[in-house]
Amino acid sequence: MTTVESAGGPTTGSDVDLGVTLAGVYLPTPVMTASGCAAAGRELSPFLDLSAIGAVVTKSVMLDARSGRPTPRMVETPSGMLNSIGLQGPGIDAFLARDLPWLVERGARAVVSIAGGSLGEYAELGRRLGASPGVAAVEVNISCPNVEDRGQVFACDPVQAARAVSAVRRGIPRDLPLLAKLSPDVTDIVTVAASVMEAGASGLTMINTTLGLAIDPDTLAPVLGGVTGGLSGPAIRPMAVRCVWQVHAAMPDVPVVGVGGVRTGRDALEFLLAGAHAVQIGTVLFNDPSAPHRVAEELRAELSQRGFRSPSEVVGLAHRPPAAAPS
């Protein structure tokens, strides 16, 4: 194997500027938290300077308060976990009144994740969010069942996915970036990606969890209160990198945020090379609550060792035809 030092000899870490611009938003580092794995940021503040990480993506909030699903809500799996939280949360109004201002006051970039059970709900969420100051970007979680369409998950159908995205888009200011968060549980993720971009997304977050199930050999029944759950963690990283790769190959100009099993700076680099502009850390936060800071610093070192001065320089680099690499 050959080491490619694309940008001339190694730089020193201090030569690397980790700042990136994602769909128009400046982020001091390309490493954010993933939705549902950082609540609304507050609980991570003992471990992290929230203003210094890329962004805080908040737990997907719905229109009304939600109790979530019965416990058990999680089960550890090899190099990952399954969860079925069921989007427990305070509802959008309480979120905007209480959680968002807290984040904004701390100087964090708040990427607000929203989720709806119908197109009407997405539209209403968009309107309320659109009227609220302090939002850096909106992430639309479309991995929810559509109650008006036999519970079919929005993200699993390009048409419904697009409708959910445009419902939100209509409510928010034109210049507010909208990231559509895709599910890997589809035959063809590129079609869904193209469809939501067409519908007004400014970029894509990939991937949400993939559907899994675990059975408790003692109770002889599914472990999770919700029966199935979402699989996450390093176990699914190769799947997430593949999704980013496929979408970047088809639509190289679309801003992509990679998420799925990021644990180290090398993992973050892998996502960037596949075509992501930034990454999110989910499950690994449970292992290491200071991971967004650590991973950003590790990424700085990885970039520096390879002679790069900015994360943007490596975005999509692995797509170069093999001939381009000196051997």
Partner 1 sequence: MNREPLQVRGRVLSVDRAGEYHHLTLVAPGVAERTRPGAFVALAVGGETSAMLLRRAFSIYRAKASGVYGDTVEVVFAVHGSGTAWLADRRAADEVDVVGPLGRPFTLPTEPVPCVLVGGGYGSAPLFALAERLRERGCPVHMVLGGATERRLFGVLEARRSAQTVAVTTEDGSAGTTGRVIDVLPEVLARTGAPVVYACGPMGMLRAVAGLAAEHGVWSQCAVEESMACGVGVCMTCVLPVRDDDGLVRMVRSCVEGPVFRGERVLWDAVGTVPAGTVGAPRVGPGR
Which residue numbers are catalytic? 144
Nearer to ligand FMN, 50 or 179 (CB): 179
Q: How far is the CB of 234 from ligand FMN (least distance, A)?
A: 7
When asked if residue 262 is in the footprint of ligand FMN (CB under 6 A), the reply is: yes
222 binds ligand FMN (CB under 6 A): no
Residue nearest to ligand FMN (CB): 36
91 touches which of ligand FMN, a second copy, partner 1, none (CB within 5 to 8 A by kind)? Answer: partner 1
Distance (Å, whole) CA 140 – CA 199: 12
In our burial notation (b when 16+ CB lie closer than 10 A, e otherwise), range 233-255 reads bbbbbebbbbbbbbbbeeeeebb
Distance between CA 271 and CA 319 in Å, rounded?
12
Backbone angles phi, psi at 229, to 5 degrees: -150, 180
262 binds, among a second copy, partner 1, ligand FMN, none (CB under 5 to 8 A by kind): ligand FMN
Range 22-41, binding partner 1 (CB under 8 A)? 36-39
Site for ligand FMN in 25-44 (CB under 6 A): 34-37
**CB closer to ligand FMN out of 41 and 282:** 282
Return the one option of partner 1, ligand FMN, a second copy, none that residue 181 interacts with (CB less than 5 to 8 A, by type): ligand FMN
Which of 24, 107, 238, 252: binder of a second copy (CB under 8 A)?
238
Of the candidates 73, 59, 75, 46, the one whose C-alpha atom is nearest the C-alpha of residue 289 is: 46
DSSP 191-256: HHHHHHHHTT-SEEEE---EEEE-EETTTTEESBTTBEEEEESGGGHHHHHHHHHHHHHH-TTS-E
- Binding mask 246-265 toward a second copy (x if CB under 8 A, else -) reads ---------------x-x--
* 11 in contact with a second copy (CB under 8 A): no
91 contacts partner 1 (rule: CB under 8 A): yes
Longest dimension (CA), the chain: 59
CB atoms within 10 A of CB 257: 28
Q: What residues between 126 and 165 interact with partner 1 by CB under 8 A?
A: 141, 143-145, 147, 151, 153
259 binds, among ligand FMN, a second copy, partner 1, none (CB under 5 to 8 A by kind): ligand FMN
Closer to partner 1 by CB, 23 or 214: give it: 214
| Binding partner of residue 166 among partner 1, a second copy, ligand FMN, none, CB cut-off 5 to 8 Å per kind | none
Are the beta carbons of 20 and 260 closer than 8 angstroms? no
Q: Which residue has the tokens 């193209």?
A: 194
Closest to a second copy by CB, 98 or 266: 266
Tell whether residue 55 is a contact of ligand FMN (CB under 6 A): no
Alpha-carbon distance of 34 to 281, in angstroms, equals 5
The answer to whether 225 contacts partner 1 (rule: CB under 8 A) is: yes
Nearest to 164 by CA among 185, 188, 186, 147: 147
| Tokens (6 digits) for 81 | 């976990």
Total interface residues for a second copy by CB under 8 A: 57
The DSSP code for 47 is T
Identify any residues that bridge with 32 across adjacent strands, giving them in sequence order: 55, 280
Positions touching partner 1 (CB under 8 A) are 36-39, 43-44, 46-47, 59-60, 64-74, 76, 78-81, 83-89, 91, 115, 117, 141, 143-145, 147, 151, 153, 208-209, 225-226, 229-230, 233-234, 283-290
